[in-house]
Amino acid sequence: MRMGKSFLKGNDMKLNMIGGSSQGDPYVIASKGKYYMYVTGRDGVGLYVSSDLKTFEYRGICFSKEGEKEYWAPSVIELDGTYYMYLSYMGSEENDTHKEHLILATSVSPEGPFVYHNDLVEPFSIDAHVVQSGKGLYLFYSANDYEAKRAGTLIKLIKLKNPFETEGEGKVVVRATLDEEIFMKDRFKKGQHWHTLEGAFYFRKGDYHYLMYSGNCYQNENYYIGYAVAKGNTDDLLELSFHKYPNEDTYCPLIKKNEFESGTGHNSLLVKDGHYYVIYHGRDNNAQGKGDTRTARIAEIKADEGRLEVVGR
């Protein structure tokens, strides 16, 4: 495929957002000649629309359900003219975010409105990414392991029987291995530090399979976007064995805080004119005000023989 020209210039990593307030966990798809960004929201899933992947206009809430709150990390896939949104929420009377669980909503339009269809995975389950391969549909998501040597939130993979149902038990594909992935020390009991890996996003280039993720906590120094890699000429993702880059014992962020932004994490990815663009959330280091100040940003990356590299941020 012949590559077009990248539209990023220098440190032009912030997107122009018209309306709305924050864009946590931005998930972007291309459909019908436009780009649609779905974001986390307390009262529902926020939607932004763009014609050029630079300027996004807020279109309001595209999914909410009575009796629920904290709509986390929506992701959308289009299959045969139907748009399937996978996300988590919890009851409006709940105070424990570990009640979050994955559900499915559908729409005939990328702009919604999306309508609740069914619950998908029991609590605690968040941060879905559903992908289609030659062997069917697969779901990456995050869940908790309280008994692991490094207890915390990890990334699992399970096959879908169809867009509405899981099939089999699935397996853990990436788990915490580093002190830099500690979300909080002594979180639930003395001596047990809580680790976090979440925000999985999978893509393939040739025989290399990449699984991007966010580690740690956005408030901490070491919060980062990293990735794991598997190599194989297979469409059955459950056959793959993912390994962190460069190895399980080395902290090697692809994206983390720098002199102008922090809290950088939870990305999606688009391929445009042969270029790979990561869309993620972050906070300006000089941001003012209270509440959720996460805004969407963009960086260009290169994928080459099992290695990812930021080439424009």
> Which CATH number covers residue 85?
2.115.10.20
SS3 237: helix
pLDDT at position 14? 75
Residue 2 has pLDDT above 50, yes or no: no
Q: How many domains does the chain have?
A: 1
Q: Does residue 3 sit within a domain?
A: no
SS3 297: strand
Range of the domain at 142: 16-312
Distances (CA, A) of 1 to 117, 157, 275: 38, 30, 10
pLDDT at position 9? 57
Q: Does residue 4 sit within a domain?
A: no
Q: Does residue 280 sit within a domain?
A: yes
Rounded Cα distance, 97 and 36, in Å: 27
Q: Does residue 22 sit within a domain?
A: yes
Structural contact between residues 281 and 295, judged by C-beta atoms closer than 8 angstroms: yes
Q: Does residue 7 sit within a domain?
A: no
pLDDT-derived band at 187, boundaries 50, 70, 90: confident
Q: What are phi and psi of 80, to 5 degrees?
A: 50, 45
Locate tokens 């709940």: which residue? 94
Locate tokens 């099939």: which residue? 167
Residues 6+ apart with CB under 8 A from 171: 156, 157, 158, 238
pLDDT at position 291? 63
